[in-house]
Structure 1
Amino acid sequence: MTTERLPKPLAVPAPRALLELLKPITWFAPMWAFACGVVSSGVAVGGRWPVVLAGILLAGPLVCATSQAANDWFDRHVDAINEPHRPIPSGRIPGRWGLAVAVAWTLLSLAVASLLGPWVFGAAVFGLALAWIYSAPPLRLKRNGWWGNAACGLCYEGLPWFTGAAVMGAALPDGRVLLLAALYSLGAHGIMTLNDFKSIEGDRRTGIRSLPVQLGPDRAARLACLVMAAPQVAAVAALAAWGAPWHAALVAALLAGQGTLMRRFLADPHGRAAWYNGTGTLLFVLGMLTAALALRGGVA
């Protein structure tokens, strides 16, 4: 009689599993927003490339990656239902390694942020705090889609934009920069709702009240589109008022393109949420850069 040899439990995660835990695909949004902040500051990069690159590293591979590791750790029971192939529920990140990585990346993020000035350090502390309370009990903001999506939108768009402008000016950014950062943070609330469509069943079973769970897919989809579009309308009006009509017209055209895609998304919200994330969101972020360029151009 032969016995099948069982595989040994992993003691140390493989590098590939660690990279998957940190989700590099999610780093793009805050890195892009940081770049928009740099552009909108109106300060020439010149010899400041090391500072800019350090800021991009902070926004994506450090702070954003920290939030992903923390989220995966505290979501491991939900992911066992929605995405059992993820590194923690699949066992490829064993034991408490997921939590250890989140803590280590938090400390590393703070160390890098401390080198970039007080405004950047303060923004990093705030962003990391939001990342933890989004996922971790007792607050666990993600249990309610209204609060959780607001925290994500701020961390993915507003704070990196603020940080990019602050690192260039070494001061509190101009009020127009802050307004655009706030508007695109609000728009990102709708983008975060799109991400919740893939996990409706697991969220419902584990008590997470995402907006698709609270409102149903159709109403949540309509709300997401409204929340994405309204701040862009406000951005167009602001750019026009600041004397940047061409930039305002381009953002309006990009918004019109999103409107066409939204109609197709609304016909099948559950089936096309990921599709819209890969199409309409691209137009959204191009509008961000257009608005940033308007400020760089020295609008009145």
Structure 2
Amino acid sequence: MPVHQTLHSEQPAEARTLPQPGAVLELFKPVTWFPPMWAFLCGAVSSGVAPSERWPIALLGVLVAGPLVCATSQAVNDWYDREVDAINEPNRPIPSGRIPGRWGLGLAVAWTGVSAAAGWFLGTWGFVATLLALLLAWGYSAPPFRFKQNGWIGNLAVGVSYEGLAWVTGAAVLLGGQLPGTPILVVALLYSLGTHGIMTLNDFKAIEGDRRMGIRSLPAALGPERAAWVAAGVMVAAQVAVLLLMAPWGRPVHVLGIGVLLLIQIPMLHRFLQAPRERALWYSGFGVPLFVAGMMFAAFALRGMGS
């Protein structure tokens, strides 16, 4: 290569002082924003209030759930996981140097402030839920709590943040700031618990790094086979509990919809359990969407029971 081309080649990662814009977006992981945004929409539907009546605040709520709070959680996690990412995923923005120095921490702190400020406009309960979600995001990854070091506690924290709080926020915003009624709160809690199993699926890809760094994710602590049974059991139990809760409500179509989606999952779970380490990603891509679709069936069943 000619000398002038070498001199004008891309600046080495270790010499950078500013993060690459594309690396910042990668740090915020847009692919992870869908679950809390979906849960917020489920909450909005479950309120029984037409989103068109309060569409500006509903749109803000969707943005808070995904591109703000969820993105914050990803930035916090990547900063405090930079050592384990250097083992499992060395091309991630922080270990690769595309986000240099302490920029990762700075972005996490700044986005926390932006998220809290936006949450202020969601009403009392929306703001409280936003703050709780941010606290869980930091508690999940940052010392001294670092919930993620225990797969039982960490996955529960994520489930509550991504699904339960987002669902409750969606309902509260559409209800004009009211705390949603008990049926909504219980269903949101059940799907939060079910999400514990979904989070366990995500941990199969990092077993070696987690063990080396002392992170007791369920696959690392229990082994892939036992962790797979826990994940499957939790996801199925949550959906069965929702079905039992809804049975007396006089919503046969919605109960049937969730039941059919659950039945489709059973043979898929059987296939996953035969080779969990190899098929965790497969089940995340094809089985989890059925769980997620059931959430919207439950949301429509809850309409009119929100206050």
Q: Aligning the two structures, in what range does the TM-score lie when normalised by the shorter sequence? A: over 0.9
Residue 298 (structure 1) shift: 5.9
Letter of the structure 2 residue corresponding to residue 276 of structure 1? Y
Residue 160 (structure 1) shift: 0.3
Residue 238 (structure 1) shift: 1.3
Q: Which moved more, 1:9-18 or 1:19-28?
A: 9-18
2:199 maps to which of 189, 192, 195: 192
Q: What pairs up with 1:1-300 in 2 under 5 angstroms?
A: 7-8=11-12, 9-169=15-175, 170-296=177-303
Letter of the structure 1 residue corresponding to residue 257 of structure 2? L
Letter of the structure 1 residue corresponding to residue 146 of structure 2? R
- Paired with 2:46 and 2:25, the residues of 1 have a C-alpha distance of 31
Letter of the structure 2 residue corresponding to residue 201 of structure 1? E
| Structure 2 counterpart SS, 1:17 | helix
Residue 105 (structure 1) shift: 0.5
Letter of the structure 2 residue corresponding to residue 280 of structure 1? G
- Paired with 1:204 and 1:29, the residues of 2 have a C-alpha distance of 27
How many residue pairs were aligned? 298
Provide TM-score, normalisation by structure 2. 0.94
- Paired with 2:93 and 2:25, the residues of 1 have a C-alpha distance of 10
- Paired with 1:46 and 1:79, the residues of 2 have a C-alpha distance of 43
- Paired with 2:51 and 2:210, the residues of 1 have a C-alpha distance of 44
Letter of the structure 1 residue corresponding to residue 44 of structure 2? V
Residue 250 (structure 1) shift: 1.0
Over aligned residues, Cα RMSD in angstroms?
Answer: 1.4
Q: Which deviations, in whole Å up to 9, do the C-alpha atoms of 1:186-216 show, x marking residues without a partner?
A: 0000000000000000000010000001110
Q: Which moved more, 1:160-169 or 1:232-241?
A: 232-241
- Paired with 2:52 and 2:296, the residues of 1 have a C-alpha distance of 20
| Structure 2 counterpart SS, 1:86 | coil
Letter of the structure 1 residue corresponding to residue 26 of structure 2? E
Q: Which deviations, in whole Å up to 9, do the C-alpha atoms of 1:136-162 show, x marking residues without a partner?
A: 011100001000000011111100000
| Structure 2 counterpart SS, 1:117 | helix
| Structure 1 counterpart SS, 2:53 | coil
Percent pairwise identity: 60
| Structure 2 counterpart SS, 1:89 | coil
Letter of the structure 2 residue corresponding to residue 114 of structure 1? W
Residue 94 (structure 1) shift: 0.4
Residue 243 (structure 1) shift: 1.2
Unaligned runs of 5+ in 1: none
| Structure 2 counterpart SS, 1:47 | helix
| Matched-pair contact (CA < 8 Å) for 2:183–2:305 | no
Letter of the structure 2 residue corresponding to residue 191 of structure 1? I
Letter of the structure 1 residue corresponding to residue 251 of structure 2? A
- Paired with 1:293 and 1:260, the residues of 2 have a C-alpha distance of 27
Q: Which deviations, in whole Å up to 9, do the C-alpha atoms of 1:72-126 show, x marking residues without a partner?
A: 0000000000000100000000000100010010000011000111101100111
Residue 167 (structure 1) shift: 0.4
- Paired with 2:298 and 2:145, the residues of 1 have a C-alpha distance of 35
Residue 297 (structure 1) shift: 6.1
Letter of the structure 1 residue corresponding to residue 52 of structure 2? G
Letter of the structure 1 residue corresponding to residue 239 of structure 2? Q
Unaligned runs of 5+ in 2: none
Provide TM-score, normalisation by structure 1. 0.97
